[in-house]
Amino acid sequence: KSTLACALSRELYCRGHLSYVLDGDNVRHGLNKDLSFKPEDLAENIRRIGEVAKLFADVGIIYIASLISPYRQDRDACRALLPENAFIEVISSLQMFLHIAFLNPDDFTDWTLHNT
C-alpha cells in the first residue's frame, strides 16, 4: 500500500499537484501513538486521520492515507468530513485501502483507477 501511495504521489507531482503521503505505520509513531489495536482505538485512528485529511484538503493539498481500515463505518465517517466526491477509496486485491482526499476532484476526472 505504501509503494502504491508513493507512486501516486510522484505522478501527481509530475502533473503539477501537491500531495502528501501518510502511512498508517508512521501515524502510530506520533499522532496516534496513544492508541492500541482494540476496535475502538482503530476507529479513533481512522477518525484522526480523516480530520488531518480534511485540513490538507482545505488548503488544496491532495492527502494520500495509506492504511488498513477494516470498518466501512469509519471510512464513511471520513468521507462525510470532505466535500462531495472529494474522497476516493482504492481497494487493492489484498483488501488494503488507500484513501485520497482531493480539494477539487474535477481536476482528476480523466484519471482511471485500476484495481489489480
Known catalytic residues? 69
Q: What angle do CA 104, 105, 106 make, to 5 degrees?
A: 90
Q: Give the three-state DSSP class for 87.
A: strand
Using CA of residue 62, residue 92, residue 33, residue 26, what is the dihedral sign?
A: negative
CA distances in angstroms from 72 to 41, 59, 76, listed in the order given: 15, 26, 6
